[in-house]
Amino acid sequence: MEFKTFVFYFLSAILVLAGLRVITARNPVHAALYLVLAFFTASGVWMLLQAEFLAIALVLVYVGAVMVLFLFVVMMLDINLDRLREGFWSYLPLGSIIALLMVVEMGLVLGGNYLGLFESSVAQAAAEDSNVQAVGRLLFTDYVYPFELASVILLVGIVAAVALTQRDKRKNKAVSPSQQVFVKARDRVRVLQMPAEKSE
Amino acid sequence: MTLADMQFVTPDLRLAAAEIFISLMACLILLFDLLVKDRKRTATFVATQLTLVAAALITLATSSGEISYTFSNMYVGDLMGDLLKLLLYVTVLVVLFYSRGYILEREQMAKGEYYALALFATLGMMVMISANHFVIVYVGLELLSLSLYAMVAMNRDSVPATEAAMKYFVLGALASGLLLYGMSMIYGATGTLEITAVAERLYTGQVDRMILVFGLVFVVSGVAFKLGVVPFHMWIPDVYHGAPTAVTLFIASAPKLAAFAMLVRLMVNGMIVLAQDWQAMLILLAVLSMAIGNIAAIAQTNLKRMLAYSAISHMGFMLLGMVTGVVSGDARFALNAYSSSMFYVITYVLTSAGTFGMILLLARGGLESDEIDDFRGLNKRSPWFAGMMMMMMFSMAGIPFFVGFFAKFSVLQAVVAAGYLWLAIVAVAFSLIGCFYYLRVVKIMYFEQPVSPTPIEAPAQMKILLSANSLAVALLGIFPQALMSLCAFSLLRSL
């Protein structure tokens, strides 16, 4: 076994285990941290494919920005763990049988083909040019259509977020200063003429 | 090949002119809406409708009738795509028209963003219809779904709507994951994501069949979710029921056209060589959908929920046409079978739009009238619209001579021609069960007393359009030939 193959299997094993822990970890903070590990290992796999730029972008964007934000949100939300776990044990037997069955099926289907590393038609990275150059050029030539569509998706995300969260101006009791300066004494005090009442 | 000698071909933008126009106009309408002071957003509404009309003209003008590719083969323009897009514009136009009164009565929905999101959803569907690349199928699907999630949740103070949006979002994300996983498997097996190139490599046979079929299962699951067929149907009743009726109308009509196009692009254009495999999967989905859809619909008291189960059974029936294209390696019947499916989905969209339009017609003063009991004695309140609703119910049940009958008939013809007699018998049996709940609505409208004999009040335009929609169901039933040959011709020139 080549060293590269060994590294691939090593990283893949960590990736799968980390992914597993993301959904099984009891503590949401731990789950988020395992997700960080998963991203990190995935970037290692990309590095093996000589896609350095993508690997670095994954770490910078997902680990550096998205996951930090995610952790903040998780820590701010006061999640009641016990309520989330309700019914877990009663669902577990059936769930695990099904999951086990699926794993066995997948293993049977794929096992024969995965004895060697998958050397195939997957496009080789262009080693002659730098990674950034290759990604940039493809993004703005061959992949310009999905690139533009992805920007529309981002726009939809913004529009949806604004439309779903924006409320009309709160009806508070503050007075507009521009109207306040025009106030006259007449507006403040109203003198009423009332018939005097006799005291008893 | 190194990057240095890579040739860049400027994409032919004319082919995608309609998509470019819609995306530009959606952005402009978003900005334009800031200047509209009117609380009813009439100007935004009119601009949206005009955009759809203009897009239809652009599609008509740029349609060449040939199969042509652009954007490095990621975009395909063909007659099937053009026909579906034209129907899509009409559907969205009609849907927004029906929804107008309903959203004006709900403060949070009567915003310019609603129309912009509808246009973005339309763009997503157009992208799906002319996709020739797995990435484009996925991106179009996400564009459509994200817009729909937001539209479902737009009525924020309604708890059912928020719950429906959340369910739709979570399950939709799961389905997208399945689809992507399948696509990545197919990429692993064939080394390409371009649909026509996948077809070529499958044809020459230098692929790993095991991994391919493995990926196919996931792709079929993803598509089945979007079509809403059993066992990926759980979201349909809750979303249809919980969403504001105007949005339910949107979800129940136009996206079916796009889902059909997605099915054709992925399965027929891309993986026709694997027809034996995916046909077997689709048969299972179709039979289960017809069974569960029709039987569960009987138990419903809410009309939206009943129509949701009916949608499941209709999509199952539509799939029957897709499973009979290739019989033991012989694709003689393919054109006939696929065009019967296309006819089915188009007429279903027409009928579905009319039926939900009728629910919107009855919903007044901010109240829903989506219970079947709300249609009690409709004949006393408005004989004309009771007649229209009856036509729609008859068409959905497949009673001759309404369009639903011919749709079912042509699909069954394809099924029998392909030699699946048992499948045809099963389909007819479940359709008969389905007749029960459609006819129950008719019975309630005609033979029971109304709760309150108030006549129906609605703007004249809405009444005219709804009547036209229902009459189209009847007229197409008498003259189905034109639309049928149009479907067959467009597929003949596209496959």
pLDDT, position B1: 45
Has residue B234 got a pLDDT over 70?
yes
pLDDT mean over B44-71: 92
Has residue A115 got a pLDDT over 50?
no
Has residue A23 got a pLDDT over 50?
yes
The encoded tokens of residue B428 equal 């007819």
Bridge partners of residue B69, in order along the sequence: B76
The encoded tokens of residue B288 equal 């289960």
Neighbours of B162 (CB within 10 A): 17
CA B198 from centre of chain: 26
Has residue B369 got a pLDDT over 70?
yes
pLDDT, position A110: 62
Closest by CA to B320, choosing from B195, B239, B420, is: B420
pLDDT mean over B115-132: 95
Which residues are CB-neighbours of B299 under 8 A, at least 6 positions away?
A: none
pLDDT mean over B342-353: 95
Has residue A105 got a pLDDT over 70?
no
Q: Please, which pLDDT band fits residue A113 given cuts at 50, 70 and 90? A: low
The predicted-structure confidence for B390-429, as pLDDT tens digits, reads as follows 999 999 999 988 999 999 999 999 999 988 999 999 999 9
Peptide bond connecting B255 to the previous residue in cis, omega within 30 degrees of 0: no
pLDDT mean over A4-12: 85
pLDDT mean over B471-490: 91
- Cα–Cα distance measured from residue B33 to residue B130, given in angstroms and rounded to the nearest whole number: 30
Judged by a CB distance cut-off of 8 A, whether residue A117 touches chain B is no
- Which residue in this structure is represented by tokens 């004999």? B453
Q: Please, which pLDDT band fits residue A122 given cuts at 50, 70 and 90? A: very low
Segment among A129-133, B39-43, B264-268, B467-471 with least mean pLDDT:
A129-133
Has residue B187 got a pLDDT over 50?
yes
Has residue B31 got a pLDDT over 90?
yes
Of B11, B135, B214, the CB nearest to A110: B214
- Minimal Cα–Cα distance from A57 to chain B, Å? 20
Q: Chain A contacts of B174, Cβ < 8 Å?
A: none
Q: Please, which pLDDT band fits residue A117 given cuts at 50, 70 and 90? A: very low
Residue B327 has phi, psi (to 5 degrees) of: -115, 115
Instruction: Output DSSP code: residue B267.
Output: I
The predicted-structure confidence for B206-231, as pLDDT tens digits, reads as follows 777 888 888 999 999 999 999 999 88
pLDDT, position B72: 87
Residues 130-149 of B with CB under 8 A from A: 133, 135-136, 139-140, 142-143, 146-147, 149
Q: Please, which pLDDT band fits residue A59 given cuts at 50, 70 and 90? A: confident
- Cα–Cα distance measured from residue B229 to residue B226, given in angstroms and rounded to the nearest whole number: 8
Judged by a CB distance cut-off of 8 A, whether residue A153 touches chain B is yes
Judged by a CB distance cut-off of 8 A, whether residue A105 touches chain B is no
Chain A interface test: which of B39, B120, B134 (most A C-beta within 10 Å) = B120
Of B114, B153, B188, the CB nearest to A122: B188
Give the up-direction half-sphere exposure of residue B139: CA atoms within 13 A in the CB hemisphere: 24
Instruction: Output DSSP code: residue B158.
Output: -
Residue spans of the domains in chain B: they are 17-492
Judged by a CB distance cut-off of 8 A, whether residue A23 touches chain B is no
Percent of chain B with pLDDT over 90: 67
Which residues are CB-neighbours of B307 under 8 A, at least 6 positions away?
A: B240, B252, B352, B355, B356
- Nearest chain B residue to A166, by CA: B108
pLDDT, position B36: 87
- What is the full DSSP assignment across A132-165? HHHHHHHHHTTTHHHHHHHHHHHHHHHHHHHHHH
Judged by a CB distance cut-off of 8 A, whether residue A126 touches chain B is yes
pLDDT, position A118: 47
pLDDT mean over B157-183: 93
Q: Chain A contacts of B17, Cβ < 8 Å?
A: none
The reply to whether residue A134 touches residue B211, judged by beta carbons under 8 angstroms, is no
- Cα–Cα distance measured from residue B16 to residue B494, given in angstroms and rounded to the nearest whole number: 17
The predicted-structure confidence for B3-24, as pLDDT tens digits, reads as follows 555 667 788 888 899 999 999 9
Q: Chain B contacts of A142, Cβ < 8 Å?
A: 72
Q: Please, which pLDDT band fits residue A99 given cuts at 50, 70 and 90? A: confident
**SS3 of residue B302 by DSSP:** strand
User: Which of B37-46, B61-70, B234-243 is most confident?
Assistant: B234-243
On average, the pLDDT of chain B sits at 91
Judged by a CB distance cut-off of 8 A, whether residue A110 touches chain B is yes
Judged by a CB distance cut-off of 8 A, whether residue A146 touches chain B is yes
The reply to whether residue B188 touches residue A137, judged by beta carbons under 8 angstroms, is no
The predicted-structure confidence for B246-276, as pLDDT tens digits, reads as follows 999 999 999 999 999 999 999 999 888 888 8
Has residue B54 got a pLDDT over 80?
yes
The predicted-structure confidence for B313-336, as pLDDT tens digits, reads as follows 999 999 999 998 888 777 788 888
The reply to whether residue B210 touches residue A121, judged by beta carbons under 8 angstroms, is no
CB-CB contact of B53 with B119 (8 Å): no
pLDDT, position A3: 78
The reply to whether residue B11 touches residue A129, judged by beta carbons under 8 angstroms, is no
Q: Chain A contacts of B74, Cβ < 8 Å?
A: 143, 145-146
CB-CB contact of B191 with B145 (8 Å): no
Which helix (H) or strand (E) segment holds residue B70: the answer is: strand B68-70
Q: Please, which pLDDT band fits residue B163 given cuts at 50, 70 and 90? A: very high
Closest by CA to B244, choosing from B156, B308, B313, is: B156
A13 burial via Cβ count (<10 Å: 0-12, 13-18, 19+): exposed
Peptide bond connecting B401 to the previous residue in cis, omega within 30 degrees of 0: yes
Has residue A94 got a pLDDT over 80?
no
CA B265 from centre of chain: 15
Q: Please, which pLDDT band fits residue A79 given cuts at 50, 70 and 90? A: low
Judged by a CB distance cut-off of 8 A, whether residue A80 touches chain B is no
Judged by a CB distance cut-off of 8 A, whether residue B210 touches chain A is yes
Q: Which residue has the higher pLDDT, B85 or B214?
A: B85
- Cα–Cα distance measured from residue B221 to residue B229, given in angstroms and rounded to the nearest whole number: 9
Judged by a CB distance cut-off of 8 A, whether residue A180 touches chain B is no
CB-CB contact of B183 with B215 (8 Å): yes
Q: Chain A contacts of B153, Cβ < 8 Å?
A: 164
CA dist B344 to A194, B348, B493, Å?
A: 80, 6, 19
Can you tell me the ipTM of this complex? 0.91
Residue A189 has phi, psi (to 5 degrees) of: -120, 130
